[in-house]
Structures are given as C-alpha cells and as structure tokens.
Amino acid sequence: MSDQQQQNMAPLEHLAIIMDGNGRWAKNQGLPRIAGHHQGVQTVIQVVDECVKVGIRYLSLFAFSSENWGRPQQEVEALMELLLQFLASQRQKMLDGGIRLRVIGDRSRLTESVRQALADAEKETAAGTTLTMVLALSYGGRDEILRAAKKLAEQAVSGSVDLQSIDNKQFSTLLDTQDIPEPDLLIRTSGEQRISNFLLWQAAYAELYFTDVLWPDFNAQELHKAIEDYRQRKRRFGLTDDQLQPGRQLPEGENH
C-alpha cells in the first residue's frame, strides 16, 4: 500500500448500523415478519464476529426504536423474546470473546424481565475490552437529547452546574452514550436513506453508507464493501484540507 493510501485510511473505531429490511425480507420469502427478525439476529451474530476480526472497537445496533412500540403487540413481544434469547445464547461467547454489552435508550418502557436481563448482561460483560456492543433499545435520538437537557436543567436548578461552562463535550456526558466515542461510519440497509432518529447528536460527523441489501441478507462480505467505501472517504470535520495534516488538533468538542 502506498504512503498516500495509508494516509487516507480513516480509522474505524466505531461502526453504527440501522438494521432495516427484516419485514420486507420475510415478505419476499412468503414468511411472517418475525421470521425476518429471526434471520436478522443471525446477521447480528455474523457482523459481531466480523467486527471483532477487523478490530472495530464499538458496534452500535439500532435494535428497537422509541417508535417501534407502535408496532402490533405480537411483533413487539416477539422482538423482546428474540432479544432475551439472543442474550442467553450469546452470553458465554461474549464473556469468552471480551465483548461488552452496553444498552442505550429509555429503559423505563421495557418490561421488568427485559430490564433485568439487560442489566445482568451489562454487569457480567463489563470487563470486556475487545468490542463494545451498544444495543439501542427503546431508543430515539431526540428522546435521548431531551432526557439529557432535562438532567442539565435539574442540575442548573439545584445549582450544581454553571450553565455558562456547558460545552459540547460536557453536554455529551449527559447522553446515554456518555464515554462512548462518536460513530465514524453509519450503515443503513434496505435502500432507505434516512437517519430515522438514530444517534442524532453523536452522528454529526459520521460518514453515511446506504445499501439496498436487506438486513437478513447483509453479511461479512457486505460489511467489507462498506468498510472499503469508508476507507476512500476524506473526513474533514468542517475544516480545510490544509488543516487536516497529521498531528493537527480537531476543534474543541469534536473528539474525532
């Protein structure tokens, strides 16, 4: 690889994915929607393995949005059941592989049994340092920002924070993602080209990659295509080319 190519290789520390198209995949096969979600879990397992192989440190998956609560009750329950099965079946593999689970979203809407299973898995895997899998559940970007703003307002009212000193970096610590770096690459499958309320604050400078492939058909090869595409991107974070010379500091509050 030439020096020029090396220099253009943007680091990929955090990959975020909007896993879309399970329902359409199932419909195409003449199967019920939940069969698409089942197959989607198999894709999750493959993608996690591949992320570990290529050295990605954070993988954020949009597994259930705040809006998904509006789906038919039967589908919501089936998705929660799938989640519980996923946690149980992957537990040992996560522990052996150093995979840490983190959950973002409004847990208060989840059932007690789901909340407990998530808390147990987070606790058990807390020492994992190979890959952090961030599951967005009952998650909405606006909701997350609103919850952070309310925390800040409470702190301001109690006098524990000086509002003038709040900057991007400090505000970020009030988000569910707290100490997680911002995503470098955001993939959405199934041909839709929207962010749909995922990581609204955090994805401000993420590179976006859209593919027509439906999530159950996504695989290691498709992941490599996305990574290859990302490697060709030139990330500027609002700066000029000259300012992006190696070693230059990025603007305050933009941690990439």
Residues marked as catalytic = 20, 68
Q: Which residues bind ligand FPP (CB under 6 A)?
A: 19-24, 37, 40-41, 44, 61, 63, 68, 82-83, 86, 135, 190, 215
Please, which residues bridge with residue 14 across strands? 58
- Which lies closer to ligand FPP via its Cβ, residue 44 or residue 180? 44
8 phi and psi angles, rounded to 5 deg = -85, -5
Tokens 């199934």 correspond to 190
The CB-of-113 to ligand FPP minimum distance in angstroms stands at 15
Please give the span between the terminal C-alpha atoms of the chain, in angstroms, as a whole number: 24
Nearer to ligand FPP, 14 or 37 (CB): 37
Angstrom distance (rounded) from CA 142 to CA 179: 19
Nearer CB in complex with ligand FPP: 109/233: 109
Structure tokens at 254: 């933009």
Task: Check residue 195 and give left, alpha or beta (phi > 0: left; psi -120 to 50: alpha).
Answer: alpha
Query: Least separation, in Å, of the C-beta of 44 and ligand FPP?
Result: 5
Q: How far is the CB of 252 from ligand FPP (least distance, A)?
A: 35
- Least gap, CB of 90 to ligand FPP (angstroms): 9
Cα–Cα distance for residue pair 81/212, rounded to 1 Å: 28
Nearer to ligand FPP, 24 or 231 (CB): 24
**Structure tokens belonging to residue 116:** 């407990």
Q: Which residue is nearest to ligand FPP (CB)?
A: 23
Q: DSSP character for 79?
A: H
